[in-house]
Each structure stands twice: as C-alpha cells, then as structure tokens.
Structure 1
Amino acid sequence: MTVIALASAKSCGVTTSALAMTLSSTRPSLLAECDPAGGTIRAGLFQAQITAGTGLYHLAVAERAGEDALAQAFAHHLVGLDASGHRQVLPGLTDPAQAPALVRSWPALAQVMRVLSDEGGYDVIVDAGRLALESGRLHSTLTPAPLLHGADLVLLVVRATDQSLALARHMSEPLRNELTEHGTGADALGVLLIEDGHRRAHEVSEALRLPVMASLPWEPDTAAYLAGTSRAPRGLKKSPLLSSARTAVSYLQAAAARRALHQQYPPTPSAPSPPWGPAIQPAPGPAVLPAPAAPQIAGVLQRLGQGRVDPRG
C-alpha cells in the first residue's frame, strides 16, 4: 500500500495530523511515532495508560539481536487504536536521550514498514517529528532520515501562516536534496497544509516550490482530543478533521500509485509532466525499488495476525 512520512520545520501538528490520517484510513493502518525528540501519544491520547515497557526504544534493543528478534518485537510493541485492531500505533520514545540508540536501527525499521505496506496491505504513517539539520543535511541522530528515504511520499506539515512558511522555506531545499540523493526522488516531497492562517494553498506552493498534496482544516476540538488535552467532542466520527483526513489519505494513496507507475514506466522526453504536481519534476536516474524482504522480516505479518496483548491491560 503506501508509506507516508510526515515532518515539520517546527511543531505544526505533525502527530495530530498523523493520528487523524491513521484513524481515517479505509485500509489497515499503522502509525509509527518516530520523532527522535520523544513521543507524545503515550502521555496524550493514551493518557499514560501505556508504560515505558512498550514502544520504539525496545525495537532498537531487539534489532541488535537480529532480524527475527526485531520482527517479533515490532508486532509485540504495537497498540490498538480501535476495537477492530485494524488501526495501530507504535508509541515513540519516552526520553530524547534514547535517540542515539536508534541510529543503526532506522534502516531495518524502514524495511519492516516497507514489508507491512507492500506485502501486508497496510497504510503506514510515519511521524518523523521536527526535522533538524547539520551542515545543510538531515541530522543523523535528531532525524530518522532512512524512514524518509524509504517513504513513498514525504510531507512537510505547514500551517497557513507567514511564520510557519518562513521556517519551512529553510527546510524544503535540504529535504529535496536529501530525497534526490538518498530517497525515491525529489517528487516524493510535498506539503500537508494545516488551514490555520490566511495563506492559500497556491501561495504556500509558490513560496516553498512544492506541491500542496493535501490539506486539513483547523478544528481545535478534535485536535485537542487527539492531543489528549480534551474529551472526545460530540459527533467525533463526523468531525471535519477526520473527514478531510480520510479524503487526504485517499488522494495521497492515488498520488503514490501514480509515482510508482511513473518510476516503473518513465515517460519519453516529449511526454507531458506527471499529474501529481507542477512545482517539481521527477529526479533523474533509476527508480529506487525496495529490496526483497528477508524471511525473518516478512514474518512480522504473520505475528501481526496472531494478536497481541494490550499493554494497557
């Protein structure tokens, strides 16, 4: 299916947006909270019902024991977001000091997410948090760069304000270069616009030289619930935020499918530009295709189907 990574130049609602998209997907979905600065879902939406014994950090420990241990740990550390079990979350770090332990684990985790998408039929939403640069490149410790490299789409979450645009403008070019050199191409990069501010989509696209691939309305009540600071509002299932997130996910799935088709069958030089956004052109060179999954990694799919103990008891 689709791997979508969300990130921002500064806190712009990445986790709330990722939760809304995961909860709204019409297909099995997984949210991986991979912000090296620490996760907020555990203390927020789950109201501290999940202990530090569950979550991302333990996958770094398991990865050192081998791929099979990583696959077992990945399935064990997922927590259900709904009663059906079709929507799940991998809670993030409890302490930013744990981030260095994940540097060598990100590539293996990226492969697991690729397997879940391509072979398991999951939509995988990666919360990459706030991006950090080092000498003009993504910081190796403070950013989960391999997860961005392997994603079908990478969305820079931006609010429709001048302040948010100013911060994102400094991040868009390094991120575009990173995906050109190490990812699936610069055309994987776009904007998820949070409609909190006076800037229109075309203004955001022109300012950042990136296509606005999706947008979400500013709805404080539902956002507060997803952040864990308020009770669920009445009519949550009909929330404009969740409804728009459902539409956004469907559009992004289609955009990712078009990208994959374009990479597999690139147009001739005289062919028109692809339809997913005029702001950037596909990067030259061969498509970056996922490597076949090792049997141990592919085994995570079977373990996911066998059920897990809810860490909340």
Structure 2
Amino acid sequence: MPVTALVSAKSSGVTTAALALTLASKRPSLLAECDPAGGTIRAGFLQGQVDAGYGLYHLAAAERTGSDALANAFASHLWPMDEAGHRKLLPGLTDPAQAAALGRTWPALSEVMHVLAEEAGYDVFIDAGRLVLESGHLHTTLTPAPLLHQADLVLLVVRCTEQSLTLARHLADPLRTELAERGSGPEALGLLLIEDGPYRAHQVAEALKVPVLAALPFDRDTAAYFTNGGRPPRGYGRSPLLRHARTATGQFEATVSRRKIQQQYPPRAANPQLAGVLERLTSGGKRG
C-alpha cells in the first residue's frame, strides 16, 4: 500500500484531508502527524485524550539507540482512532521547538512507515504541514524533507481559490524539482483539490502544471468535527467528505501501482516503422 505525504502552501486543509483519508480507507491505516510546526489533532479532534507522553517527539531519543528501539517506540506511540484499532495515529509535536531534534530521525522513521505499508498492508498518510523553502529546496528543519523524498506520493493540497492558487504556484516548481533531484521522481507529485472556490479541477491543474489526483468536497460540518472533535455530525459515516475520501484512497493506490509498473518496465525505444503504423491507426484510418 502507498505511503502518501500531504503538504500545502498555507491553511489549505491538510490535517482535515489527512484525517478523512485515514478514517475512510478500506484498509488498516495510519496517520503520522509530522508537521514541524506542531500537531493539532491531539488538542482538536481528540480533545486532549492523548497527553504529551505519546507522540512523535519520543521517537527521536529511541532512534539514537538503534533501529530496533525506534521500531518498538513507533509501535508503542500509536494511538487507536477506532474501537477495532484499524485506524492509528502517531500524534505530532506539542512544541515546534522539538522539531530540531528530529532531523536525523526522519529517514529511519520513513523506513519504518514503508515497512508498515509494504509488509502489513497499511495505507500510510503523512501530515507534513506547510512547505517551507530555503534557497529553492525544502527547509531541513521546518519541513520533514526525507519523508517527502521517500514517499510514494506527495500531494499538494490546494483550495479552488485565487489565494490558494497564488501561494501554491510558487511552490509547485521547486517541489517538482526537489522530487526529481532528491526524491522518487517528479511523477510522485500530484494535487489533492479541496472544492472550496470558483475554479475547476482542469483550471487548477493547468495553472500549477500538476495533475489533480483526487478532489474532496468542502464539507463544513465534517471538517468542523475533525478540527474540534466532540459529537460527530448526523450522518457522519455517509458524509460527502468521507465518501469522496474513500474513493480517493483507491485512486492513490492505482496511481502508485502504475508508477511502480512503469519503473519496473520502462517504455521500449521507439521503432520508426511501428510509429508509422500507430500514426495511421490513431488518425482514424483515413486514406490519403
């Protein structure tokens, strides 16, 4: 199953989208809250149920002990988000000042998450927060760069508004270049559209030169529940946000599967004779 990282330029609904995808997945799923600016799910959606003794920060000390210690700490710091324990959360930082301690932890943590996805069949979603650039590259402290480099998919979350497009436009090219030079390739980048605003999917894709891989509706009631917790809204399980999120997880899996097949079986060199046949076939069979 894929490891998918979600990022944004600013306040585009990354955490809400990541929660929706994690809770809607048809498979066991994990949400790793890895925003260096600090996590919000602990105080919001979970309403303080999880104290500071759980979470991402504690993995830094474990990683310094060794890979086995990191794997054990990772498992012990996951919080179940449903009664069956199929939806798990790695709670984020409680203080942005803790982010500096994770610099050397990100690569090893990424490996653990990929093992969970590939060996245990989990959908893994990473809330990587707001992108921060330094000299045209991902900031090494304010962005969990290794998680993005190694992710199967990197989703730039964008709203259909002029403001969101303007902010995202400055990040799309540097992020694509980053993934080409240091990640799994520029094809790992896609857009997750939040349908809040006047622009359509094809307009957003054209403006940012990045394909839209999925879209989620602006579902005010469900989004408020994910942000603030409390009692779920009426019809929550059948809400538009969760229904579209369930479809989106399937689209992401299909996209990653296609990429892996293409990487395993690269296109053959073009044959001029075959190219001529294909040209005639695709021209509708018209004769000169």
**Which bin holds the TM-score, normalised by the shorter protein?**
over 0.9
Equivalent position amino acid for 2:140 in 1: S
Instruction: State TM-score, norm by structure 1.
Output: 0.85
Equivalent position amino acid for 1:165 in 2: L
Partner of 2:279: none
Partner of 2:145: 145
Structure 1, unmatched stretches of 5+, are 272-313
Instruction: State TM-score, norm by structure 2.
Output: 0.93
Instruction: Report if the CA contact (8 A) 2:190-2:213 is conserved.
Output: yes
Matched, 1:35 2:35: yes
Per-residue Cα deviation, 1:37-94 (whole angstroms, up to 9, x for no partner) = 0000000111011100000000011111111110110000000011111110100000
Matched, 1:58 2:53: no
Partner of 2:69: 69
Distance in 2, Cα, partners of 1:50 & 1:266: 47
What aligned pairs does 1:216-255 form with structure 2 within 5 A after superposition? 216-228=216-228, 231-255=231-255
The residue matched to 2:70 in structure 1 has which SS? helix
Q: CA RMSD in A?
A: 1.0
Per-residue Cα deviation, 1:127-174 (whole angstroms, up to 9, x for no partner) = 000000001110000000100111111000000000000000000011
Per-residue Cα deviation, 1:162-207 (whole angstroms, up to 9, x for no partner) = 0000000000011001100111100000100000000000000000
Q: How much does 1:229 deviate?
A: 5.4
The residue matched to 1:227 in structure 2 has which SS? helix
Structure 2, unmatched stretches of 5+, are 272-288
Q: Which of these two proteins has the greater Rg computed from alpha carbons?
A: 2
Distance in 1, Cα, partners of 2:190 & 2:225: 27
What aligned pairs does 1:99-248 form with structure 2 within 5 A after superposition? 99-228=99-228, 231-248=231-248
Partner of 1:14: 14
Matched, 1:83 2:60: no
Q: How much does 1:231 deviate?
A: 3.0
Question: Quick one: structure 1 residues 27 and 171, their matched pair in 2 at CA, closer, same or farther if it must change by over 3 Å?
Answer: same
Instruction: Report if the CA contact (8 A) 1:117-1:123 is conserved.
Output: yes
Of all paired residues, the percent bearing the same amino acid is 66
Distance in 2, Cα, partners of 1:88 & 1:249: 16
The residue matched to 1:10 in structure 2 has which SS? coil
Q: How much does 1:241 deviate?
A: 0.2
Partner of 1:25: 25
The residue matched to 2:233 in structure 1 has which SS? coil
Instruction: Report if the CA contact (8 A) 1:221-1:230 is conserved.
Output: no
Partner of 2:285: none
Aligned length: 271
Q: How much does 1:120 deviate?
A: 1.1
- Runs of at least 4 residues of structure 1 off by over 6 A? none
Equivalent position amino acid for 1:226 in 2: F
The residue matched to 1:157 in structure 2 has which SS? strand
Moved more, 145-154 or 223-232: 223-232
Distance in 2, Cα, partners of 1:268 & 1:220: 48
Per-residue Cα deviation, 1:74-116 (whole angstroms, up to 9, x for no partner) = 0000000111111101000000000000001000001001101
Distance in 2, Cα, partners of 1:129 & 1:94: 14
Distance in 2, Cα, partners of 1:59 & 1:98: 11
Q: How much does 1:269 deviate?
A: 4.1
The residue matched to 2:120 in structure 1 has which SS? coil
Distance in 2, Cα, partners of 1:165 & 1:188: 20
Instruction: Report if the CA contact (8 A) 1:224-1:230 is conserved.
Output: no
Partner of 1:46: 46
Instruction: Report if the CA contact (8 A) 2:222-2:239 is conserved.
Output: yes
